[in-house]
Amino acid sequence: LSFTSLIPALYADPSSCRTIRVTMQILINAIDGQLHLVEVTPETTVAQLKSQLKAFDCVLTSGTRILDEDKCSLSQLDIVHGSTLNVNARLIGGKVHGSLARAGKVRAQTPKVDKQEKKKKKTGRAARRIQYNRRFVNVALNGPGRKRGPNSNAA
């Protein structure tokens, strides 16, 4: 007797067919560290599971995945018989250093200071004269030691 020959025999009498409700057992790792066994169907949604556990303000996780979509069923989230779900409490706050909530706060706190007026930049012959003095005439004054860059104001 093969499996394919059994299929017509199962559906020969429709009155003999019953709806079988498939249940699965999942393990719940609670906040207090206890392990609970819960019987659910694959069509059970995350919201129904939270209400069954009375964990409305908690976060359910499966491995590294957060189950935050309340309308999704357990079968859509690939949760099978024997899966372990963790119940975690929501923590208020978060990172302070480097968090996006504090982005731009320093700029908003510092007072605005107007820019100072600068002297007019010399052009042409006068600019070349300063350049010449900086590069060739004042070099002898520096003497031995480390050479300073063009922006250093050390005389």
pLDDT digits (tens, 9 = 90+) for 120-152: 999 999 999 999 988 888 765 556 677 777 777
Mean pLDDT highest for which of 77-81, 87-91, 92-96, 147-151? 77-81
3-state secondary structure the chain: CCHHHHHHHHCCCHHHCCCCCCCEEEEEECCCCCEEEEEECCCCEHHHHHHHHCCCCEEEEECCEEECCCCCECCCCCCCCCCEEEEEECCCCCCCCCCHHHCCHHHHHCCCCCCCCCCCCCCCHHHHHHHHHHHHHCHHHHCCCCCCCCCCCCC
The CATH class for the domain spanning 19-89 reads alpha beta
Q: What is the pLDDT of residues 15-36, one digit of tens each?
A: 555 656 678 888 888 888 888 8
Q: What is the pLDDT of residue 150?
A: 73
Greater confidence (75 vs 124) lies with: 124
